[in-house]
Structure 1
Amino acid sequence: MEVYSEKQQIIDAIGNLKSKKQTLGLVPTMGALHRGHLQLVKRALSENDKVVVSIFVNPTQFDNKNDLIKYPRTLERDIELLKTVSANNILVYAPTVDDIYEGKTVSESFDFDGLEFEMEGKFRHGHFDGVGTIVKRFFEIVKPHKAYFGEKDYQQLAIIKKLVEKHNIPVVVVGCKIHRETTGLAMSSRNTRLKPEYKEAAPFIYETLKTAKVKFGTKSANKITEWVEKQFAKHHLLELEYFIVADAKTLKPVKRKSNKKAYRGFIAVYADDIRLIDNIALN
């Protein structure tokens, strides 16, 4: 498996592939890979000749420095996992911070037509500027035909689609369904940091979302939100940061439901000091 740590190396390798008219997919990750990541890679391989998997813990999208410090970094293990999917058709790009940011570790400022101010944007200052900065740079370096992102980070997916639209970037952004552990917990690199009692408690998040989906058929968005808040108020381990019923397109909180619109429930929960997010289509 080819592993590159420098921008020019990966640019040269990609140039060689494209000279042979090969199609290229991109799966951007922050490493600590799990089965959910591997499903994205498999999807990308099914639709492209070669796939670049970037492994980079991006400092500009962390509003919490401790979270950045504690974020798991497991490059050797990640490479071995990717080899189980394909040893020959995956290129790994694992750059340093200096290789990406060239000594200026700051975000660009973006206008995502308001998507950046909803949900995660309210709780993680500057997060989506960091996301936009790193994804745009990977698009510029790799120049993929298609790029693959999981729906667990649904707001991020919507923002990347907006980034591509507003900056006229020639890449197709593909959203892929959430992959879950057998307990229903959405797969996340952060799950590896959960203490046993919190790992056991965390599936309560998805169970609550599934019940909220059922209630959505007959209850208002406000009633469902109140119900979710009460469920977590009674839970002795999990702390609800937010639950929001939002328009799936604009991501704005719902005031009154319409049969002509699609809605999703979005949630963020603290399990000890680990922040977990999830979402579900409600209709």
Structure 2
Amino acid sequence: MVNIRDLDPSASPLDYYGAELRRLREEAKLKQGQLGDIVFCTASLIGQIETARKVPTRDFSERVDAALGTDGMLSRLVGLVLRSQLPHWFQAYAEMEVRATYISSYQAQLVYGLLQTEEYARAVLSAGWSDKLDEAVAARLDRQRILSRARPPLVWVVLDEAVLHRPFGSCEVMRNQLDHLLGFRDKRELRIQVLPFSAGQHPATVGSFNVLRFEGDPDIVYAESYGSANVTANPDTVRDCAHRYDHLQAAALSVEDSAALIACVREERYGDQSGPGSRPVA
């Protein structure tokens, strides 16, 4: 059955995307099933996206653009759609994250969102009772595109050692996540340090925070709590958090020793020991 539903394109980026997809398909004189055959998906999926019941992916958008010759229109629009799926209190920060030239992040509980694998992100968001899990995961992964653009921001992440030991998802999910972190070892624009348990007391006991720097705009500090976030450009707060971050970096293991610790935890805590006599491989 063909999905037919009147949309108000101005209601949301998702509604606008659905209306545009329908308009472009009808201009091409294609039925939903015909377009689905061309882009390798079902007519039902086309209908769900056209009626704003399903969030499109970037891959889907690129395939439809190629099929309908839209000059990349849907691929440009899908970024707005995915960002609209982020919590409303987070959307302003996500826009600033895209413009940042330097990001310093301290994470006390979780792997930093820009460094999460899909499976780890799904486990984290599920534990946080996300209402629309698939959409939330897609939106989080889309934020990571800033790391692969032509001029990515410089990113420095300090992870508390507890992050490595706190499992989200299965052992396989954690193995893959720690492997993913190790994959950044040779990436010049991204550095990861681990704050070991042995560091003892440190100046960030209040919790995780990010410091963002921009070209031509004031630096900001971002920290979040349940259902809300605090973003401030107050110079005193920014200076205080930057100073705390310097102390965290100084107390943390070097980048090389941090990678060694991640590999050790990966092997000893999450290594695949399913086979008889098998040994985990870092």
TM-score, with structure 1 as normaliser: 0.26
Q: Which has the higher strand share?
A: 1
Would you tell me which structure has more helix in proportion to its own residues? 2
Q: Which has the larger radius of gyration?
A: 2
